[in-house]
Amino acid sequence: MRPSVILKIGARYMQPLLLLASIFLMSRGHNDPGGGFVGGLVASTGFALLAFADSVEAAKKALRFDSRSFIPLGLTLALGSGIIAFFFGKPFMTGYWLPFTIPIFKYFGVPALFDLGVYFAVLGVTLTIIFNAATQEE
The pLDDT of residue 86: 86
Q: Which sequence spans correspond to the domains of the chain?
A: 5-137
pTM (2 d.p.):
0.87
Which has the closest alpha carbon to 96: 87, 104, 39?
87
- The amino acid present at 38, given as its one-letter code, is V
Half-sphere exposure of 113 (CA within 13 A, CB side): 19
Tally the C-alpha atoms within 13 A of residue 110's C-alpha that lie toward its C-beta: 17
Q: Which of 4-8, 36-40, 73-77 has the lowest mean pLDDT?
A: 4-8
Residue 43 pLDDT greater than 80, yes or no: yes
Residue 94, sorted as left (phi over 0), alpha (psi -120 to 50) or beta, turns out to be beta
pLDDT of residue 21: 94
Q: What is the pLDDT of residues 48-88, one digit of tens each?
A: 999 999 889 999 999 999 999 999 999 999 999 889 888 88
CA–centroid distance for 23 within its chain: 8
Encode 51-90 in three state secondary structure: HHHCCHHHHHHHHCCCHHHHHHHHHHHHHHHHHHHHHHCC
CA dihedral 3, 9, 12, 17 (to 10 degrees): -120
Give the span between the Cα atoms of 52 and 102, in whole angstroms: 36
Look at residue 4 and give its three-state secondary structure. Answer: coil
